[in-house]
Structure 1
């Protein structure tokens, strides 16, 4: 069972190390399953983690940025989040 921390990092106690979303994507493609719990509450967060992994796999991570939260690019903000960034604080 994986452990998801408040900052979004995922830790595998069985392996004794953090696990990247890319590794979980490969596991899912290979047909392997996983389960996860929240480090602070102990509650099941498998679906939440799976959603994050799928967002990463689909390349939608930039679309989930909060208003005003920019990332670097040659023109300042990518086309996916320009409208969101303009409506920021």
Structure 2
């Protein structure tokens, strides 16, 4: 895996993990905003903490993906997963 594809894979993993972690621990405001009445936004989303957790989880998952991609365990070049030769 080249460094460009490694960064692209990490970016995709990071975004998927972020959207999985965002709803954890959030509770909507019961009374809503007095000006607009909006009740959907959480009162204390703790975004920096969630971004740190996302980065840690995504890094672990990326190392797992890197190990799987660079190993011959699941290779598309040889074995029964390989594409047939023409």
Q: What interval of TM-score do these two structures reach, taking the shorter chain for normalisation?
A: under 0.3
Where is the strand percentage greater, Structure 1 or Structure 2? 1
Larger relative helix fraction? 2
Which of 1 and 2 has higher RCO (CA within 8 Å, sep 6+)?
2
| TM-score normalised over the length of structure 1 | 0.23
